[in-house]
């Protein structure tokens, strides 16, 4: 049997490379695995040799100790890999196929999957609708920041690239299809972005940058990105976004200086539950700040897309309410302005094929927009630390040295 190494969460602020079992066609017990999932037979699965796997801001929430993730949980839900073995129930995916893996694990059989709501599949997580690799409370499916990973329901979940050589030439773009590109695109679509829209994206991390690039792809007239981090704001400007530094004051005032009016058509929250205040309060955590500011600066009748992560359990929350995901929102303002809201996991399969075609035909350069930076598996713990410090990079782990 082959060996396998992976990145595991070992306690607040720490990850390490560990030896872990090679995948089998049965879900084994381990950190975070729901007991009801232990022993689950997976004849419909495929084993992949991981080509690229990315560090996500959602991983950082766990590593900071801001969730109930157990120690030694193997991380990683952004996966691209080559199929090296298939179970007896796999019919269409073949050995040698190079594929993108949606971070949502979905069965393809339940009502939600059939309605393209693959982010809330009903059959893969006994705890709640929806599942993902290497993530807290998501059923215990082993993460993909590893050399090898198992993908269940392979015929349904895997997006095969049509030309392997072409895909490897664009691998740093295509690796973003597993999560942040569709997630950012989902934020833009659900906020109502279209030709001529004015858009405000809260947060210049990788998802925020992906949302900004997506808004441009959808035809937005102006995309404004707000953040506290000067390097990340510079990265947003590198591909044509306007920017505002929210530590310098109210976003509405700065928007008026840019647009002539203090509001936009569409607002996107790419920050989530670890948001900080604006202006003089920017050093203090204030988890409702972004959502409340978006309702203020989004025009009446506009939309809010919310790809930023919010959780039901946050041990590090600023108060008891925040620790259970209860935030003080000005919902009355959103109601009065007839805003639409869309939250939750992005249903990656709804978008990833179209975005793949946009990449393959040079309609978008998402790797450049998010500043994709390759590291080895052994370099990943330092990349986690660097990412947590706020560097304007999207780290891509190359476990086998295949990217070059």
Q: Each residue of 68-121: pLDDT tens digit? A: 999 999 999 999 999 999 999 999 999 999 999 999 999 999 999 999 999 999
Task: Return the pLDDT at 281.
Answer: 65
Which pLDDT band, with edges at 50, 70 and 90, does 280 fall under?
confident
Cα(346)–Cα(259) distance, integer angstroms:
30
User: pTM of the prediction?
Assistant: 0.96
Work out the mean pLDDT of the chain and round it to a whole number.
95
Q: Name the residue ranges covered by the structural domains of the chain.
A: 5-179+347-397, 182-342
The tens digit of pLDDT for each residue in 135-145 reads: 999 999 999 99
Q: Which of 291-300, 323-332, 354-363 has the lowest mean pLDDT?
A: 323-332
CATH code assigned to 182-342: 3.40.50.720
Return the percentage of the chain with pLDDT > 70, whole number.
Answer: 100
Measured CA to CA in angstroms, residue 241 lies from 172, 211, 229, 302 at distances of 21, 11, 15, 20
Q: Is the pLDDT of residue 400 over 90?
A: yes
Contact present, 306 and 208 (Cβ < 8 Å) = no
Token representation of residue 325: 């995901």
pLDDT at residue 275, as a whole number: 84
Strand partners, 14: 11
Question: Per-residue pLDDT tens for 179-209?
Answer: 999 999 999 999 999 999 999 999 999 999 9
Q: Are 9 and 380 in contact (CB under 8 A)?
A: no
Q: Domain 5-179+347-397 carries which CATH code?
A: 3.90.180.10
At 283, the pLDDT band (50, 70, 90 cuts) reads: confident
CA dist 220 and 303 (Å) reads 14
Binned at pLDDT 50, 70 and 90, residue 343 comes out as very high
From its phi and psi, is residue 260 left (phi > 0), alpha (psi between -120 and 50) or beta? left
pLDDT for residue 249 is more than 60: yes
Check pLDDT > 70 for residue 57: yes
Burial status of residue 65 (CB atoms within 10 A of its CB: 0-12, 13-18, 19 or more): middle
Across 163-172, 188-197, 248-257, least confident range: 248-257
Distance separating alpha carbons of residues 80 and 159, to the nearest angstrom: 9
- Residue 1 clears pLDDT 60, i.e. is over it: no
SS3 at position 356: helix
């Amino acid at each position: 049997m082959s060996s396998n190494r992976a990145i595991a969460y070992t306690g607040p602020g720490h990850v390490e490379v560990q030896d872990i079992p090679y995948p089998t066609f049965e879900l084994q017990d381990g950190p975070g695995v729901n007991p009801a999932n232990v022993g689950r037979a997976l004849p419909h699965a495929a084993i992949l040799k991981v080509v690229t796997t990315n560090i996500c801001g959602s991983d950082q929430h766990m590593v900071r100790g801001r969730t109930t993730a157990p120690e030694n949980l193997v991380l990683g839900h952004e996966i691209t890999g080559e199929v090296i073995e298939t179970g007896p129930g796999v019919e269409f995916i073949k050995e040698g196929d190079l594929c993108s893996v949606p971070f949502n694990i979905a069965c393809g059989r339940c009502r939600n999957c059939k309605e393209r709501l693959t982010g809330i599949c009903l059959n893969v997580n006994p705890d709640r609708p929806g599942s993902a690799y290497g993530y807290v409370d998501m059923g215990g499916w082993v993460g993909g920041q590893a050399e090898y990973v198992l993908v269940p329901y392979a015929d349904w979940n895997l997006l095969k690239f049509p030309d392997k050589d072409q895909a490897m030439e664009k691998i740093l773009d295509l690796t973003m299809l597993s999560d942040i590109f569709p997630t950012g695109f989902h934020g833009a679509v659900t906020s109502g972005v279209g030709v001529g829209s004015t858009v405000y994206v809260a947060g210049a991390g990788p998802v925020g940058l992906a949302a900004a690039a997506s808004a441009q792809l959808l035809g937005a007239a102006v995309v404004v990105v707000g953040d506290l981090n000067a390097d990340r704001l510079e990265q947003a400007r590198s591909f044509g976004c306007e920017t505002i530094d929210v530590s310098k004051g109210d976003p509405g005032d700065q928007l008026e200086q840019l647009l002539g009016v203090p509001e936009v058509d569409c607002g996107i929250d790419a920050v989530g539950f670890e948001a900080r205040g604006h202006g003089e309060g920017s050093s203090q955590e204030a988890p409702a700040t972004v959502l409340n500011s978006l309702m203020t600066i989004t025009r009446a009748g506009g939309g809010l897309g919310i790809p930023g992560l919010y959780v039901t359990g946050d041990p590090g929350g600023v108060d008891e309410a925040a620790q259970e995901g209860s935030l003080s929102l000005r919902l009355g303002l959103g109601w009065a302005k007839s805003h639409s809201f869309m939250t939750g996991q992005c249903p990656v399969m709804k978008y990833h094929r179209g975005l793949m075609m946009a990449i393959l035909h040079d309609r978008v350069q998402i790797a450049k927009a998010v500043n994709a930076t390759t590291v080895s598996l052994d370099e990943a713990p330092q990349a986690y630390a660097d990412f947590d410090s706020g560097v304007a990079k999207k780290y891509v782990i190359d476990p086998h040295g295949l990217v070059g």
